Amino acid sequence: MSAEVVERTIRAVALVVNPAAGGGKVGDVADRAQARLESHGIAVTRLSGDSAEDSLALAREAVAGDPGAGVAAVDALVVCGGDGMVSLAARATAHADVPVGIIPAGTGNDLARDYQIPLGDPEAAADVVAAGLVEVVDLGRATPDGREPQVFASVLCAGLDSKVNRRVNEMRVLSGPLRYVIAALLEFPFYRPRRFRMTFDAGLPNEETVETEVLLSAFAITRSYGGDMLIAPDADRSDGLLDVVYVLEVGRTPKLRFARHFSKIFSGRHVGLDGVESRRCRTVRIETPDVVPSDVEAFADGDAVSALPVTVEVLPGAGRILVPGR
């Protein structure tokens, strides 16, 4: 499906900064991006919360504006940080007509890669914002049982990959995508696959339940996670569907085989290998029936969502992203 692309005039933006991103060096990146935006004649309001919740509240206020006080909403919400900050912006703007601009300054920067935002060049990323080319895209929504739903912009994972994600978030050494490789090498030998029950498209004519041993699983809007691992290489961010990829585990052989082919995940050539399953759906409920309460966490856009069970669904056309010209 071809994405809808529209042009906008960008006159005023809110720039939300994650001071912890990029090993704490994001301040310089944000300064450079702000200066470039202002050189385009764009008014910049800089925001930085003390926590993710504070930053989300500030972002939502900027998007909503204050009509009673005559304060208009900004033309774009720009974030400086990694995938977690882009996810925060997606939550603040979901179903709104305010686009998200990305100044990459995180560890993996998978969303920036997928949208072809220049990496390591804040001025070039700011130029993308100023150009005002907006792509209409899908978002995802994860709803843990008994908890509030959480919108995400790239990939929700559960299994070995979410275990790796937690270790990456706790690491205080190294930087960039290398963290994911090291974390995977540390977690892989000791991770025990779990039995998953996945109910796809419940209530629809094509409803199906799959129950099997799963090593890792990804439910994707965009193609990559973990610093450009192409876990779902055929994902289309505007087709109204989740791309689901999961690795089966029956005994030890498939796990060892997957280890030998691990490097193929960076090119997407793992899809189609024996033991790697893929499909598309609109919704999926993920449970671990043999372990209650579950010890498997779901992570989305690099941040923890909840332990399973979680219901995941696609929100067609709910997002707006500022992208380079094609």
Is-catalytic flag, 50? no
The pLDDT of residue 9 is above 90 = yes
In the chain, residues under CATH classification 3.40.50.10330 are 4-137
The domain defined by 142-317 folds into Tumour Suppressor Smad4 (2.60.200)
The pLDDT of residue 137 is above 70 = yes
Measured from the Cβ of residue 192, the count of other Cβ atoms closer than 10 Å reads: 10
Enter the tokens of residue 87: 């996810």
In the chain, residues under CATH classification 2.60.200.40 are 142-317
Enter the tokens of residue 290: 């043999």
pLDDT per residue as tens digits for the range 193-249: 999 999 999 999 999 999 999 999 999 999 999 888 899 999 999 999 999 999 987
Rounded Cα gap, residues 302 and 88, in angstroms: 11
What is the model's pLDDT at position 106? 83
What is the model's pLDDT at position 256? 67
Catalytic option among 228, 234, 239, 303: 303
pLDDT per residue as tens digits for the range 180-207: 778 887 888 888 899 999 999 999 999 9
Assign 20 a pLDDT band (cuts: 50, 70, 90): low
Mean of the pLDDT values across residues 59-85? Answer: 82
What is the model's pLDDT at position 168? 84
Q: What are phi and psi of 166, to 5 degrees?
A: -65, -45
The pLDDT of residue 115 is above 90 = yes
Rounded Cα gap, residues 320 and 93, in angstroms: 8
What is the model's pLDDT at position 171? 80
- Can you name the residues that pair with 168 across neighbouring β-strands? none
Assign 134 a pLDDT band (cuts: 50, 70, 90): very high
Q: What dotted CATH number matches 4-137?
A: 3.40.50.10330
What is the model's pLDDT at position 38? 98
